[in-house]
Chain A
Amino acid sequence: MSVIDDSRPIFLQIAELIENDIVSGEIREESQVPSTNEFAAYHRINPATAAKGVNLLVESGILYKKRGIGMFVSTGARAQLLATRRKEFQHQYIAPLAREARKLGITGAELTVMITQSLSTEEPEGRGIR
């Protein structure tokens, strides 16, 4: 099954998949990322769309081009992504969590216990794009 869904433009999803792999450490800084044609073939998407996703990351400084060789992850890219994601964390994860907890009548104290438990048992996510 494809990891690409219909909810958003594909180029954004491609950019996000690459970001995920940088954040998880799957792709290291200064290492090469697959070419846009490889992304296109792997995800079965239009090559122009794949290129648009990669270019988005070049514009934001996450990736850089080495002429005639390919795309590489910039030094500091992971820290940059982590900073952005931390900012979005409350909004993206805590707010919906709190909403659902309220709906189910879970108290703040109960929620704290659950989160503490999950933090100590859950495996860190390490899913790759390839």
Chain B
Amino acid sequence: MNENMTPAIEVRNLVKSYKDVEALDDITLSLAANRIYGLLGRNGAGKTTLMSILTGQGYATSGQALIFGTNPYEHDETLSRICFIRESQRYPDDFTATQAFKAAAMFFKNWDHELAQRLCTEFALPLKRRIKKLSRGQLSAVGVVIGMASRAEITFFDEPYLGLDAVARQIFYDRLIEDYAQHPRTIVLSSHLIDEIANLLEHVVVIDKGKIMLDEDAETLRGSAVAVMGNAQKVADFIDGYEVLHRDALGSLAAVTIKARLTETQRQMAAELGLELSAVPLQQLVVRTTLAEATKETTPDSLEALK
């Protein structure tokens, strides 16, 4: 992998305004090729808007969105390198799954028929039934099969799992790791089920209210925050000087999440003070970061008040 190559996705000062909202508010991002990205955030944060612009299905109010250095909007050659599986992907009304796969195979030059067949078997997908007669989960499975078998250079999965049960989702994640290992490409996973996909991600981008809240390697994030629990006064002394992401109090007890990578000495000190330390999973970190930033912006005093 050459780090000097053109980024797979490059976004500069991207703005998308609707009448009274900024769906994307000055977003700048650069995503290198051949990695698995997590695009995380709450409903309405701007994830789908961003992916729509990146896949040429929408246009920006201002700013630039480039795919391998090219604006994808109405640019067929670039569009043929991208696969976008939407949360509620639509297919022609009378299509069967087999017909949808045939259409995809004509569009995507790297289409892998065997992979598609294997996934269909694993998802127990009825191939001859019309897609509009499929269950919600089966419909999602059709999207997952197309997204995987297309082997597009960039694949966007926007909440692809609606209606898929835990077993089917695990099949998706497992096959994704396997196939990505054999055929590295750029994958952007947008998901609410952060815990489920956390370990698959190499890099995490969190958006909230159209702004980038976090743009960091997953491994850097892991262990970058710690929850400290115990006697409120001792906790307060221990966390003094650290950025606080979250506080909970119960009588004389406190649980505070701080942004810190503790040294072994600090851990021992905590143990001697009778404080419990616990790891903060990525999902918690995303929630805490998003909420902490939101609080900071709307009411700058509210965090002070908590101290």
Report the bound CA distance from A91 to B267 in whole Å: 12
Q: Check B271 against A96 for contact (C-beta < 8 Å).
A: yes
B253: CB under 8 A from chain A? no
Interface check B164, CB cutoff 8 A: no
Q: Is the interface of B mostly helix, strand, loop or mixed?
A: helix
Surface stretch bound by B, among A5-13, A23-31, A63-71, A112-120: A5-13
Q: B156 → chain A, closest Cβ, in Å?
A: 18
Query: B279 and A37: CB pair below 8 A?
Result: no
B263 on interface, CB distance cutoff 8 Å: no
Contact string, B176-203, partner A, CB cutoff 8 A, digits 1/0? 0110111010000000000000111110
Among B123-131, B217-225, B229-237, the stretch that binds chain A is B217-225
Closest to A92 in B: B264
Q: How far is the CA of A43 from the CA of B199 in the complex (A)?
A: 9
Q: Tell me the bound Cα distance from A45 to B197 in angstroms.
A: 9
The interface residues of chain B lying within 8 Å CB-to-CB of A10 are: 199, 219, 222
- The number of residues on chain A lying at the interface, defined by a beta carbon within 8 Å of a beta carbon of chain B, is 25
Chain B residues with Cβ below 8 Å from A6 are: 198, 222-223, 279-282
Q: Does B93 contact A (CB under 8 A)?
A: no
Is B174 at the interface (CB under 8 A from chain A)? yes
**Residue total for B at the interface (Cβ-Cβ under 8 A):** 29
What is the CA–CA distance of A7 and B280 in the complex, to the nearest angstrom? 7
Question: Separation in Å of the A87 CB from the closest CB of chain B?
Answer: 13
Contact B201 A46 (CB under 8 A): yes
Instruction: Find chain B residues with CB under 8 A from A33 CB.
Output: none
Expressed in whole angstroms, the Cα–Cα distance for A48 and B279 within the complex equals 23
What is the 8 Å Cβ interface bit string for chain A, positions 13-27, against chain B (1 contact, 0 not)?
000000000000000
Shortest Cβ distance from A93 into chain B, in angstroms? Answer: 13
Report if A37-B202 is in contact (Cβ < 8 Å); known contacts: A6-B279, A44-B173, A46-B218: no
Residues of chain B lying within 8 A (CB to CB) of residue A7: 222-223, 278-279
| B219 contacts across to A, CB distance below 8 A | 9-11, 49, 52
Residue in B180, B198, B222, B223 whose CB lies within 8 Å of A47: B180
Q: Does A95 contact B (CB under 8 A)?
A: yes
Q: A41-B177, A91-B264 are in contact. Are A46 and B223 (CB under 8 A)?
A: no
- Separation in Å of the B35 CB from the closest CB of chain A? 7
Closest 6 CB pairs of A and B: A7-B279, A37-B181, A6-B279, A47-B181, A9-B219, A6-B281
Q: Interface of A with B (CB < 8 Å)?
A: 2, 4-11, 36-37, 40-41, 43-49, 52, 91, 95-96, 99
Task: Give 14 new A-B contacts, CB below 8 A, not counting A4-B199, A9-B219, A44-B200.
Answer: A8-B223, A9-B223, A10-B219, A37-B181, A41-B177, A45-B177, A46-B202, A47-B177, A47-B184, A52-B219, A96-B268, A99-B268, A99-B271, A99-B272
